[in-house]
Amino acid sequence: MLRGMATDPQRPRIALHDPALYINRELSLLEFNRRVLEQAKDPTVPLLERLRFLTICSTNLDEFFEIRVGGLREQEAYGLPGASADAIAPVEAIQRIGVAAHVLVAEQYRVLNEELLPSLDAEGIRILRRAHWNPQQAAWAKRHFINEVLPVLTPMGLDPSHPFPKVLNKGLNFIIALEGKDAFRREAERAVIQVPRALPRVMKLPAKVAGGPHDFVLSRPSSMRTWARSSRG
């Protein structure tokens, strides 16, 4: 209130310290992401824009857990009380976030698998599952892996003689089981493979093996497992 301004004695005072007047910022951000997801569900929005909204929602959720939930975890670890105006303690906020986030992620996958992917397929944009590859497509994927992917992969041993490798943010990593001995005749049981970010997660099939103009395949862990089995010993 400006200094010198007369007050209305009939107007009730607002208890500005009442937690009921405030919305938790973390839960509010989850609600924002839910509204972003609603754009992906809107059939009046262009199809590829709906897919973009879905990816935005997913990316926002990743950052939310990295920053917001990470901060709450630190508060919980140090026993700090909730400092926000809504008076929700960190442990309670984390519990409520867990419930809301599980619902949000489940809806993301439902929208992708039941709405967007069938709609994309109807428009001739297909992401082919491994079980649906024909022999020519499987052969192309194997050649692509051997020629383009395998040369840039470097397994790092997980044992007492090696420090645990640095895990890059938003990186793709595989832990593989090994058999046999390494070059120094030591038993090797596990290794981690960090997939370089330069490698695409979605690959377009060439016209000579594709069944349509816009056929894609995903980089699958199964290819990595197959390579790991063939590299044992």
Those residues with Cβ within 8 angstroms of residue 192's Cβ, 6 or more apart along the chain or in another chain: 155, 156, 158, 165, 173, 174, 175, 176
- Which CATH fold would you assign to the domain 126-230? polyphosphate kinase like (3.30.1840)
- Which CATH fold would you assign to the domain 19-123? Methane Monooxygenase Hydroxylase; Chain G, domain 1 (1.20.58)
Tell me the pLDDT tens digit for each residue of 192-230: 888 888 888 888 999 999 988 999 998 754 444 444 444
Torsion of CA 59, 158, 153, 177, to 10 degrees: -90
- Binning pLDDT at 50, 70 and 90, where does residue 23 land? confident
Average pLDDT over residues 55-81: 89
Mean pLDDT, the chain, whole residue set: 84
Domain parsing of the chain, residue ranges: 19-123, 126-230
Quickly list H helices, the chain: 25-41, 47-63, 70-77, 90-110, 117-122, 135-144, 221-230
- Binning pLDDT at 50, 70 and 90, where does residue 56 land? very high
Q: Are 148 and 196 a contacting pair, CB within 8 Å?
A: no
Mean pLDDT lowest among 98-102, 115-119, 129-133, 196-200:
196-200
Which is more confidently placed, 9 or 213?
A: 213
Average pLDDT over residues 174-190: 78
Those residues with Cβ within 8 angstroms of residue 171's Cβ, 6 or more apart along the chain or in another chain: 194, 195, 197
Which is more confidently placed, 190 or 43?
A: 43
pLDDT score for 9: 66
Mean pLDDT lowest among 30-39, 161-170, 206-215:
161-170
Q: What is the pTM of this model?
A: 0.75
